[in-house]
Structure 1
């Protein structure tokens, strides 16, 4: 796959071509299938049940942080340190440095309550200090996953935005995710904010 990161082309492992990284630029058949199913009733009346069978989920988080955008970028980009602070992430191994703006990393996630453990291979690309994007395919629960972080300088801090796009293997798994999505949104951002505090990154203002 080839991703476009704010005008910068980044060659990814799969070798396929793609679109604009600002909107995650990560599209394959997994994203195009299953949006909605058309059903025929009495051979001529049509309606859509996409809401019942849709396996795709999109989660957006946006927050003003009292840190310089370069510090926030550095923490998000440093995937090797994720096991030190990101919930459920127990290990990270960089498999390959593709170039100065991208790498391939294997992250292991464990959840004791669900008795689950999985290692996911992510293609990670960045445009310093503006954006970090991680993508993965064919995980235990998802056909495709994409995380897109963007950092915009603001007075007394920065605007940190993360968009998560997930395409689950089954509707039931997608529905299960819905019950945890709000907690996931809070947990992700809080984990990175706490990491910034622990790393002694200078606070530019009182946290909002």
Structure 2
């Protein structure tokens, strides 16, 4: 079962990063492999959303419930799709004016052992690329930090 963790200190506030991660409807604009998203319901504390991910001819849709604790935490609860199990969380820790630490963790298993074996070699790099895409998007939305 892949378990991937990534932690980064960023020149953006915890609130800015929380807003960016919570905006699931815009994921297809900047996240690699996200083909489409559909938000079924959304409130201050909870969202239900579908996400279509794909690479070349492969396409898979999954549904998640997103629990939001503004501005410190987002926890994703897997509802339905091609996985047996998915746990995904984001923690946003303020480090001072306009700075925060993000901690991202994802833990999952595929229903297909063959697919898990095939994908296993690429998943760590893919998820790190995904976290980098959030960082790049923050720069686009909030401006690049001063050198």
Please, what TM-score do these two structures have when normalized by structure 1?
0.64
**Alignment equivalent of 1:121, drawn from 63, 87, 93:** 63
Q: Is the 1:130–1:150 Cα contact (8 Å) retained in structure 2? A: yes
Deviation of the 1:200 alpha carbon:
2.6
Aligned to 2:90: 149
Q: Distance in 1 between matches of 2:80 and 2:101?
A: 31
- Give runs of aligned pairs for residues 163-174 of structure 1, distance below 5 A: 163-174=105-116
Unaligned runs of 5+ in 1: 1-55
Q: Which moved more, 1:149-158 or 1:169-178?
A: 169-178
- Cα distance in 2 for partners of 1:185, 1:88 equals 11
Structure 1 residue 150 displacement after superposition? 0.3
Distance change in 2, residues 1:201/1:127 (3 Å) = farther
CA distance in structure 2 between the partners assigned to 1:137 and 1:144 by the alignment: 9
**Of 102, 106, 128, which residue of structure 1 is paired with 2:50?**
106
Cα-to-partner distance string for 1:102-127 (whole Å, 9 max, x where unaligned): 01111111211xx1112211111110
Q: Which runs of 4+ in 1 moved over 6 A?
A: none
TM-score (ref. length: structure 2): 0.89
Q: Which of 177, 180, 184 in structure 1 is aligned with 2:122?
A: 180
Q: CA deviation at 1:201?
A: 4.3
Distance of 2:84 and 2:38 partners within structure 1: 22
Q: Which residue in the other structure is 2:23 paired with?
A: 78
Q: For residues 150 and 139 of structure 1, what CA distance do their matches in structure 2 show?
A: 25
| 1:60 and 2:5 matched | yes
SS at match of 2:128: helix
Aligned: 1:189 with 2:126: no
Contact 2:44 2:68 in 1 (8 A): no
Choose 1 or 2 for highest CA Rg: 1
Alpha carbon RMSD of aligned pairs, Å? 1.8
Give yes or no for contact 2:63–2:80 (8 Å, CA) kept in 1.
Answer: no
More helix by share: 2
Aligned residues: 146
Give ranges in structure 2 of 5+ residues lacking alignment.
Answer: none
